[in-house]
Chain A
């Protein structure tokens, strides 16, 4: 049986808070934690599959052109080599998140340096890797003079959907205070620990693939489409995912290549991308160039708000880093201009990487806000508070629930923020200037259609099944907590099975929508189960109080079920509510940094984030998400940058030694405040997205603290020592 909810109205019943079990929101340990930390949780490439062949992708050593011939004989006589796969169906790129269809094919048409073009399959991984380096092929490469590689000089197209309201130029010239500044950010790699990997098995009628993927519900359609199969012929399994960060939203080249090879050779085939291939072929976050224009009256009330950004993308791809997403609604200003443009260049595909849009848009905006506060001469916290709009400034919609002011105020208090006059170079510790900075956080709230099956067994335990993934975020925990809270079961009486397309289709993990979407589907199923139980207990659903496996003061579930199994598939759809409210997570970051006055090195002394994102489903995993986000904020601010060769566009720093994510020593004690909130318009469980919010603006708190410390206003992220020195006043 199924139960369906299309949410067109806020759910103000606040059902979860009326339950008896008392586990929702609790900081419970992950049920999957022990398996993970003891190394017994199998990741995609680790499934023991008998008789498995190993495949290694061959990549193009040129930027744009065509493979005209592949000389398979050049490697087929090498030891252990079984086959060279150069099928027309090999994909040239990864699929964009939620694409639901095959990415660009065939792989022979090359659009970026390092694009996979063929797969060499051998008995052992070492044999396949060696042979992959020896495969010879003919190609026609376009003259690099004709291939646009530089986003600065390449032709650009404006994106549809610009916001134009009033007259920004006029507002700027008439304003008491104004800031007109251009920031740049560099490309990012998702940098998940687990590389992309797949083991494909074909039994003649059905393809089963263990893969490292975030969104099986879309991935099954992408893979089936790429291979020319029906979805019913494909099964995807991703029980554990070693980090996705956007890079596993869509299928990537190894999944298709392993599948084709397994079907052709009728043997299981494993393909794991090397770390270098992850950097070369998996989606990058586009670099950005952003012009901010802010105008304000003498008291700092915004009168104009301009945010224009240029990003880049391969020709033919529709995704554009949504830099302006939260700028649309975060602050006031009646004269508005928000415009995104896309330069077409031949670097690998740009796509979703950890908080696409706000991860780079918010740092630029919040840096400009700091400059405005300095100019107006007011506390930067106060500037934000003064510019929280009543309604969406261009669309006029109300906000669903918004704790921005509370985050700013509670964060400032907990951090010990000094709201007095701010001047650079007020504090020194030996060679180090010390300063503080802050920024707002915002990340749009997303929800997606989701299905989950909840089954009450005659023994009184519950089973939840969905193809939803846990990419390290805590899905196993929160799904169990929603079901346990609704059904009156402790966590050890709820078994959660995820990551298998044989189960009902979940929303997938991405855009921070996982918890609220799948949680809602589980909630919908549990409401029906509760109705059934209530009728068995002879009470109304509202009166039904369930705790610890039974009705409070009454029958146990085992007695109520009396040998029957009850099962509902919950089906949640977001509905029209998104048209009625502006829904977003909000927060505030506060940072103290030290900047070396000689070398320009910056170290973060301490950092605090205060966030409001609706109901917290598990305080431990939610906090961990926030901590992770703040770490990415530190990386964005200080270290992370994809470097591209100017001659042929290849990524030069393609491993974790040269692509610098923060190390432990870069991460000080972090403090997280989760502001109490229920957002009835966000989802029927009153929860919003958490995962990405922690990195949406945090880099600006660090950048603003660098300015406050030493007086260097660096207009480019990451703020590496060379840039800090160049901007540092003598």
Chain B
């Protein structure tokens, strides 16, 4: 860990101003950032403690949605009465991640910004284009068990590791972002994280001096909500593959099929072709298979992660079968 300055921000604008400096990082729960600082993967010159900002509330929105403050803890969100009742997908996704102790500290904004667990990113004796642009990608020829099969580039095959954002993407949630001048902008969760492309160091669209203030959930929709996370250890492990689904049927046909996937890409993966394929059709094993074909038609594996392609197919099938009550 390199020595660093520590400042505490009491106002949002002040925090954003401080964070405008390159080399400054905001810290809330610190469950990921501190680990990475110990490993010297993150070497901020200044930490700005934002945990006293008044961003911890979870409030109803005027249109019947829910505004989850950036500093609401993962535990607070997962146990929130409306989240449990109307957005169970989100509660389940949060509870599928980390451990109780970590969820008690981790925040909404920090969870969105958590960094990949790629083994090469977290080891400074190894090449990593994300950590050290131009140094190469250790995972490409190395152990790629955790790694992406969709939306990869020659520069980076890391995955976004979280669960919460996958559920938020399926729910059509929006990230509210403020800057030092008091301006806010809203970015859909599905557009918040980036694909690696030739800028793999860029995890998301946050600019220097911007701070996440909330995630806004749209009004709840009818349908079954499921979050399925596949892993060999039943807790405290990142997803091999995860699927978030909101599915509704009328007269035996899909009227809603909002899907998002974790563990497959550098971001929560969504493919608009999936709902286009499913809507209006009757559930069937054949249809589910076609959906998997669509999902995976651009998939590329890198050695040890080849299993993710069949596993994603099977997990999507399982989720669609469960959501539609089909016995396969």
- The answer to whether residues A647 and B230 also contact, given A79-B3, A129-B1 and a CB cut-off of 8 A, is no
**B105 CB, nearest partner CB in chain A, Å:** 15
**A432 CB, nearest partner CB in chain B, Å:** 11
A73 an interface residue at 8 Å Cβ cutoff?
no
Complexed CA–CA distance, A130 and B37 (Å): 10
B286 an interface residue at 8 Å Cβ cutoff?
no
Partner of B314, one of A61, A113, A114, A599: A599
A373 an interface residue at 8 Å Cβ cutoff?
no
CB atoms of A658 and B315 under 8 A apart: no
B5 an interface residue at 8 Å Cβ cutoff?
no
- The answer to whether residues A725 and B230 also contact, given A130-B3, A646-B141 and a CB cut-off of 8 A, is no
CB atoms of B125 and A726 under 8 A apart: no
B6 an interface residue at 8 Å Cβ cutoff?
no
Measured CB to CB, the nearest residue on chain A to B230 is A599
B45 an interface residue at 8 Å Cβ cutoff?
no
Measured CB to CB, the nearest residue on chain A to B313 is A598
**A75 CB, nearest partner CB in chain B, Å:** 13
B206 an interface residue at 8 Å Cβ cutoff?
no
CB atoms of A725 and B311 under 8 A apart: yes
**A571 CB, nearest partner CB in chain B, Å:** 46
A239 an interface residue at 8 Å Cβ cutoff?
no
Complexed CA–CA distance, A130 and B1 (Å): 5
Please report the number of residue pairs spanning A and B whose Cβ atoms sit closer than 8 angstroms: 103
Complexed CA–CA distance, A665 and B232 (Å): 12
Measured CB to CB, the nearest residue on chain A to B303 is A646
B234 an interface residue at 8 Å Cβ cutoff?
yes
* Main secondary structure on A side of the interface with B: loop
Partner of A658, one of B117, B235, B317: B117
Tally of B interface residues using CB under 8 Å? 37
Interface residues of A in 578-599 (CB under 8 A from B): 596, 598-599
- The answer to whether residues A645 and B232 also contact, given A650-B125, A652-B143, A660-B237 and a CB cut-off of 8 A, is no
Interface residues of B in 1-57 (CB under 8 A from A): 1-3, 38-40
**B140 CB, nearest partner CB in chain A, Å:** 10
CB atoms of A660 and B232 under 8 A apart: yes
Contacts of B228 in A (CB 8 A): 599
Complexed CA–CA distance, A630 and B41 (Å): 37
Residues 639-667 of chain A: 1 if any B CB is under 8 Å from the residue's CB, otherwise 0?
10001111100101110011010111110
A721 an interface residue at 8 Å Cβ cutoff?
yes
Partner of A639, one of B3, B119, B125, B232: B232
- The answer to whether residues A644 and B117 also contact, given A601-B230, A663-B236 and a CB cut-off of 8 A, is no
CB atoms of A644 and B311 under 8 A apart: no
CB atoms of B235 and A663 under 8 A apart: yes
Contacts of B120 in A (CB 8 A): 652
Measured CB to CB, the nearest residue on chain B to A656 is B236
Interface residues of A in 661-715 (CB under 8 A from B): 662-666
Partner of B240, one of A59, A274, A722: A722
**B65 CB, nearest partner CB in chain A, Å:** 32
B180 an interface residue at 8 Å Cβ cutoff?
no
CB atoms of A721 and B3 under 8 A apart: no
Partner of B233, one of A129, A660, A725: A660
B134 an interface residue at 8 Å Cβ cutoff?
no
Contacts of B119 in A (CB 8 A): 643, 652-653, 658
Specify which of A114, A129, A660, A722 lies most central, judged by the most chain B CB atoms within 10 Å of its CB.
Answer: A722
Partner of B307, one of A274, A643, A718, A722: A722
CB atoms of A650 and B126 under 8 A apart: yes
Residues 123-136 of chain B: 1 if any A CB is under 8 Å from the residue's CB, otherwise 0?
11110000000000
A600 an interface residue at 8 Å Cβ cutoff?
yes
Complexed CA–CA distance, A664 and B233 (Å): 10
A126 an interface residue at 8 Å Cβ cutoff?
yes
B138 an interface residue at 8 Å Cβ cutoff?
yes
**A191 CB, nearest partner CB in chain B, Å:** 13
Residues 312-323 of chain B: 1 if any A CB is under 8 Å from the residue's CB, otherwise 0?
001101100010
CB atoms of A721 and B230 under 8 A apart: yes
Measured CB to CB, the nearest residue on chain A to B317 is A598
A541 an interface residue at 8 Å Cβ cutoff?
no
CB atoms of A643 and B143 under 8 A apart: yes
- The answer to whether residues A718 and B311 also contact, given A129-B1, A652-B142, A658-B117 and a CB cut-off of 8 A, is no
**A150 CB, nearest partner CB in chain B, Å:** 13
Measured CB to CB, the nearest residue on chain B to A275 is B38
Measured CB to CB, the nearest residue on chain B to A62 is B125
- The answer to whether residues A598 and B234 also contact, given A652-B143, A725-B307 and a CB cut-off of 8 A, is no
Measured CB to CB, the nearest residue on chain B to A80 is B3
Measured CB to CB, the nearest residue on chain B to A723 is B307
CB atoms of B2 and A601 under 8 A apart: no
- The answer to whether residues A126 and B1 also contact, given A599-B318, A647-B141 and a CB cut-off of 8 A, is yes
A182 an interface residue at 8 Å Cβ cutoff?
no
A165 an interface residue at 8 Å Cβ cutoff?
no
Partner of B234, one of A652, A658, A665: A665
Residues 230-251 of chain B: 1 if any A CB is under 8 Å from the residue's CB, otherwise 0?
1111111100110000000000
Interface residues of B in 254-289 (CB under 8 A from A): none
CB atoms of B318 and A598 under 8 A apart: yes
A133 an interface residue at 8 Å Cβ cutoff?
yes
Contacts of B202 in A (CB 8 A): none
**B202 CB, nearest partner CB in chain A, Å:** 24
Measured CB to CB, the nearest residue on chain B to A79 is B3
- The answer to whether residues A662 and B233 also contact, given A126-B1, A721-B240, A725-B311 and a CB cut-off of 8 A, is yes
CB atoms of A720 and B138 under 8 A apart: no
**B233 CB, nearest partner CB in chain A, Å:** 5
Contacts of B236 in A (CB 8 A): 657, 663
Complexed CA–CA distance, A59 and B125 (Å): 10
A431 an interface residue at 8 Å Cβ cutoff?
yes
Complexed CA–CA distance, A340 and B40 (Å): 42
A276 an interface residue at 8 Å Cβ cutoff?
yes
**B129 CB, nearest partner CB in chain A, Å:** 16
CB atoms of B234 and A431 under 8 A apart: no
Interface residues of B in 168-188 (CB under 8 A from A): none
B224 an interface residue at 8 Å Cβ cutoff?
no
Complexed CA–CA distance, A664 and B315 (Å): 24
Measured CB to CB, the nearest residue on chain B to A660 is B233
B145 an interface residue at 8 Å Cβ cutoff?
yes
A603 an interface residue at 8 Å Cβ cutoff?
yes
Complexed CA–CA distance, A718 and B40 (Å): 32
Residues 272-300 of chain A: 1 if any B CB is under 8 Å from the residue's CB, otherwise 0?
00101000000000000000000000000
Complexed CA–CA distance, A129 and B120 (Å): 20
Complexed CA–CA distance, A600 and B240 (Å): 12
Contacts of A130 in B (CB 8 A): 1-3
A522 an interface residue at 8 Å Cβ cutoff?
no
Measured CB to CB, the nearest residue on chain A to B2 is A130
Measured CB to CB, the nearest residue on chain A to B236 is A663
Complexed CA–CA distance, A665 and B40 (Å): 32
Contacts of A720 in B (CB 8 A): 232
CB atoms of A61 and B143 under 8 A apart: no
Specify which of A601, A603, A718 lies most central, judged by the most chain B CB atoms within 10 Å of its CB.
Answer: A601
B310 an interface residue at 8 Å Cβ cutoff?
yes
**B93 CB, nearest partner CB in chain A, Å:** 17
- The answer to whether residues A599 and B311 also contact, given A652-B123, A658-B117, A722-B240 and a CB cut-off of 8 A, is yes
A269 an interface residue at 8 Å Cβ cutoff?
no
Partner of A665, one of B38, B138, B235, B310: B235
CB atoms of B314 and A598 under 8 A apart: yes
Q: A601-B232, A663-B234 are in contact. List 17 more A-B contacts (CB 8 A).
A: A126-B1, A130-B1, A133-B40, A431-B318, A600-B314, A638-B233, A643-B119, A643-B145, A644-B143, A647-B138, A652-B119, A652-B142, A663-B233, A718-B232, A721-B231, A721-B232, A721-B307
B residues in contact (CB < 8 Å) with A: 1-3, 38-40, 117, 119-120, 123-126, 138, 141-143, 145, 228, 230-237, 240-241, 307, 310-311, 314-315, 317-318, 322
- CB pairs A–B below 8 angstroms (14 shown): A130-B2, A133-B124, A274-B38, A276-B123, A598-B318, A599-B315, A643-B143, A647-B138, A665-B234, A665-B235, A666-B234, A718-B232, A722-B311, A725-B307
Lowest 4 A-B CB distances belong to which pairs? A722-B307, A598-B318, A652-B119, A61-B125
